[in-house]
Structure 1
Amino acid sequence: MKLALVTDLHANREAVQAVLDHAAAQGAERYAFLGDYVGYGADPGWVIDTVREYVANGAIAVGGNHDSGVADVISPSMRPEARQVVEWTRSQLDDAQIGFLKRLPLSVTEGDMLFVHANAFAPAEWEYIQGRIEAVRSLHATTCHYTFCGHMHEPKLFHLSGTGKAGDFIPSPGVPIPIPPLRQWLIVPGSAGQPRDGNPAACYAIFDTTEQTLTFQRVPYDHEMTGDKIRAAGLPERLAERLAQGH
């Protein structure tokens, strides 16, 4: 089965549609959404409704910190810029959309796979997997061989051997990577809606559970249109600019 892994959609309709179209063309049979459907972008309602449709058809979905901020309480650590967008987003959503965000679990375990937004060791505290130390801590917190998480907006792959040897690398798009369950793996697909690795193309990944391979993908989209929508909504100009810069 080909499982598409999509995270940090951030209300970016153009990027999300491009990713979903690309994944379908690659033969994706199921989808896992790893949180942060809202925040930063100008199309939160459309993104939520789209994810709801996929969930109704068997997709996995977990909640992120921006989703929690909109549906419940804004984190004290959230930057003023993000806080402004959260408050604007609340005004754009109806009760059903807010309800969907409220009901999202922090994590989902299915077989040998763990799906979570931030990390496995403290999902509700939203700590980032910034490097190997945090990745190993997350892998030690689960017995699953495959952990999929978002939050970090840059694609990364970490692994931990049975003897405790850890490694990581930055993947090349479109190149299948063998990830057999002889090790534990932590996969960060990168952000679909707001990439931050200097490349504006949307990120996602496909896990082929039969072949036990992982392929990171990059998908160009019309980020200028997305930026224009952000400006038209009266959201911070910087949010439009960073889409074009990939930062």
Structure 2
Amino acid sequence: MKYAVISDVHGNLDALEGVLADAARQPADAYLFTGDYCLSLPFPEQVVRRIAGLEHACVIRGNEEQYIEKMQGEDEARWEGGQMHISCWCAHALSAESRIFLQGLPEKMSFRDAESGIGFHMAHSSGNFIGKAELGKFSCPTIPLMYREGELKHRRLLKDIRGHLNENQEFQEQCGKLEDGVYLFGHSHIQWFIESGKKVFINPGSCGLPMDSCEPGAPYTLISTGKGGISVEERRVPYDIEGFIKKFSRSDQYKRVPVWSGIRIRELRTRREHLYYFLEYAERYAQRTGDPIRPFTRKTWEGAYEEWAEI
């Protein structure tokens, strides 16, 4: 069997189509999705329908699906232009059928590969399996601080993550509590994998919005199983990112939710976190202008972005 592991699509239909086409050529027998299909980029409905229509797919929910669920039935005018407008816009952009699909997804899933007998365990975040071992050091906001240069070679990042985990006490302790098998997750938007005895931990990175500062493209991971065990291949599929950004700039999301969209376009181009640092700036801006309301209002949200975008 060959499994294509895909995570964190975030409404990027072009990246998803590129990954699915590449996986089909391998050929992948099944698809394992570890959450966050909507919110951030402009084609949530198309992404959800594409995933829902796949045969031989195991799909779980991520944290973004919870944000969308909470916004169902909300009046968009209440949030328009402010911090939470993207969640409300996305909830309205999804069809009733897609919302039902997302609501029905489990948070975790486990199964056994029929031929090898290897157990597979899926959750959105590595925290479900190894606590803070990954996210305590390697996350979207920490990568720009740890690696100041522009593009980062993936082999260097992978070496650094493995070195950290091999020396991390929490990782070793949590590994000891887990049964042998394959553990799949996403959330950090950073592609990596590590073997620890008869356990394999895999983060395929973010298909739609990678934040690892590494080479351009849409990452996913291919797992091959057999009687001899498994093999892991990290893949990064090139696609026309600037072409996608042009589509983005013509989308309803861009017109209706411009601040969020502008930040995400920066992240698409740089493959680095910007939203976290904008939120920090918006907090300082709100305090400076005397605005105590949270989530941020339209006036604060747009005013902070106007200043921040010039830095």
Corresponding position of 2:267:
242
TM-score between the two structures when normalised by the length of structure 2: 0.64
Corresponding residue of 1:92 = 93
Q: Secondary structure at the match of 1:206?
A: strand
The one-letter code of the counterpart of 1:47 is V
Deviation at 1:242, TM superposition (A): 1.4
CA distance in 1, matches of 2:66, 2:11: 14
What SS does the corresponding residue of 2:35 show, helix, strand or coil?
coil
Match of 2:22 in 1: 22
TM superposition shift of 1:29:
0.9
Aligned partner of residue 216 in structure 2, secondary structure: coil
CA deviation after TM superposition for structure 1 residue 84, in Å: 3.5
In structure 2, distance between residues paired with 1:190 and 1:229? 23
Task: Determine the C-alpha separation between the residues in 1 that align with 2:44 and 2:237.
Answer: 20
Partner of 1:167: none
Partner of 2:190: 154
Q: How does 1:110-125 map to 2 (within 5 A)?
A: 110-111=111-112, 112-119=119-126, 121=128
- The answer (yes or no) to whether the contact 1:153–1:197 under 8 Å persists in 2 is yes
Alpha-carbon offset, residue 208 of structure 1: 0.1
Counterpart residue type for residue 99 of structure 1 = I
Question: What's 2:115 paired with?
Answer: none
Alignment match, 1:223: 241
* Alpha-carbon distance in 1 for matches of 2:249, 2:267: 12
Counterpart of 1:63 in structure 2 is: 61
Contact 2:13 2:43 (8 Å CA) reproduced: yes
When Rg is computed on C-alpha atoms for both structures, the one with the higher figure is: 2
More deviation in 85-94 or 41-50? 85-94
Identity of aligned residues (%): 25
Divergent runs of 4+, >6 A: none
Q: CA deviation at 1:136?
A: 4.6
Q: Secondary structure at the match of 1:209?
A: strand
Q: Quick check: 2:223–2:233 contact (8 Å CA) kept in 1?
A: yes
Deviation string for 1:31-60 (max 9, x for gaps)?
111110001110000000011011xx2210
Structure 1 residue 135: Cα displacement = 4.7
> Cα gap change, 1:140/1:10 in structure 2, threshold over 3 Å: closer, same or farther?
farther
3-state SS in 1 of match to 2:244:
helix
Please report the RMSD computed on the Cα atoms of aligned residues, expressed in angstroms.
2.7
User: What are structure 2's unaligned runs of at least 5 residues?
Assistant: 73-80, 113-118, 139-160, 273-311
Which secondary structure does the structure 1 equivalent of 2:128 belong to?
coil
| 1:104 alignment partner in structure 2 | 105
Q: What SS does the corresponding residue of 2:53 show, helix, strand or coil?
A: helix
Q: 1:238 to 1:22 in 2, by over 3 A?
A: same
Which residue identity does 1:53 align to in structure 2?
G
Letter in 1 for 2:128: F
Superimposed CA distance per residue, residues 94-148 of structure 1 (whole angstroms, 9 cap, x where no aligned partner): 111111111110111002110111136379xxx9473634655654553242101
* Matched letter for residue 219 of structure 2: C
Match of 1:47 in 2: 47
Task: Please list the CA deviations of residues 67-118 of structure 1 after superposition, one character each: whole Å capped at 9, or x if unmatched.
Answer: 12112369xxxxx998432221111011111111111101110021101111
For the residue of structure 2 that corresponds to 1:157, the secondary structure is strand
- For structure 1, the residue ranges without an aligned partner over 5 or more in a row are 75-79, 162-182
Say which structure is richer in helix: 2
> Partner of 2:201: helix, strand, or coil?
strand
